[in-house]
Amino acid sequence: MSDVVKIFLPSLLSFGLGIFIAYPTRDFLMARKLWKKKSVGVTTSGEKAVITESLHKDEERKTPRMGGIIIWLSAVISILLFWIAGSFSTTFEHLNFLSRSQTWLPVFTLLGGAAIGLVDDYWSVTERYDQKAGGLSFRKRIAAVFAVGAIGAWWFYSKLDITTIHIPFGGELNIGLFFIPFFILVMLGTYSGGVIDGLDGLSGGVFSIIFAAYGTISFLQNQVDLAAFCFVLVGSLLAFLWFNIPPAWFFMSETGIMALTMTLAVVAFLTGQVLLLPLIAFPLVISSASSSLQLLSKKYRGKKLFLVAPLHHHFQAKGWPAHSVVMRYWIIGIICALLGFVITILG
């Protein structure tokens, strides 16, 4: 019973903090006009993005970016409050879930990704705006993710002595030094799923489901601190989602996307269920894959595979209402999470 309280009480606090933080955050962002000044006008290959431009007319509402601040700030405050309470009072000692083996690295990754994304967001909406790059260039963002991934891989390999990955129904596989490049590749791949942040309510709902899934898996494996961390993020994500449903108060943008995707990769490795990540995070996978396939098709076939990429915009271009796309993504996410639970228990 005490473990259940340890997991869900911080989640409730992060939700409440997120709701409270949202109002001054929106006022701050609106007062400083921190929204994207130009809609998407060209594709990555330099062509005029007619369909994409029409689908991004919602940006004319002057919706602020940097909404991800609500997610990581409310989560970090919640973590710190329980750490302080547990450090200075034996009554709350059991509720402190900040631990070297389970949550130090996810917290570091959350803050690192948030900081990098915040710089990118700020540059994309101020005088540092670069029409081609839209903030930090793609290469710089990838380099930043690579650097954080390298630090995380070193921590797993040197500090936690983890060099194995769990193969569902196949046991543990020790990959030795190859764990480091594998870790970095998974983090880069997970970050590519950030293209899902394209419709009101989509990314908030999908990430809530994914972190709830890994939080439950952590609990099943008796990783209570990690489970508490995951559900703290779920609480803060639900607070963000409260204000991100149509019409959105703000977009999650890079400060949220980078923080969440990189942290998700770390959490997947900590649970030992990283090979289930493509299944549990399937909505991220199909969004990222659709963008890659679109580029390859245009380059080698000379024509598009989808009306527009990522895939959620393809459905939108076909005439699906945005809320239908979002809710069906949520449903797919829940089904994939349930499949992940089943495989975790059986495998």
Across residues 88-97, what is the average pLDDT? 84
pLDDT at 59 over 70: no
Across residues 92-117, what is the average pLDDT? 93
User: What is the C-alpha separation between 107 and 99, in angstroms, rounded?
Assistant: 10
Query: Which of 47-56, 161-170, 259-268, 306-315 shows the lowest mean pLDDT across its residues?
Result: 47-56
**pLDDT computed for residue 128 by the predictor:** 59
Q: Whole-model pTM above 0.95?
A: no
**pLDDT computed for residue 133 by the predictor:** 47
Q: Are 102 and 270 in contact (CB under 8 A)?
A: yes
Q: Are 225 and 106 in contact (CB under 8 A)?
A: no
**pLDDT computed for residue 10 by the predictor:** 94
**pLDDT computed for residue 204 by the predictor:** 95
Percent share of the chain, pLDDT over 70: 90
In terms of C-beta density within 10 A (0-12 exposed, 13-18 middle, 19 or more buried), how is residue 173 classed?
exposed
* 224-275 pLDDT per residue, tens: 999 999 999 999 999 999 999 888 888 999 999 999 999 999 999 999 999 9
User: What is the C-alpha separation between 327 and 313, in angstroms, rounded?
Assistant: 14
**pLDDT computed for residue 123 by the predictor:** 87
Helix axis angle for 2-31 and 202-220, nearest 10°, is: 160
* 266-275 pLDDT per residue, tens: 999 999 999 9
Task: Give 42 or 300, the one with higher predicted confidence.
Answer: 300
Query: Which of 36-45, 78-87, 286-295 shows the lowest mean pLDDT across its residues?
Result: 36-45
Q: Are 216 and 227 in contact (CB under 8 A)?
A: yes
For residue 44, the 8-state DSSP code is T
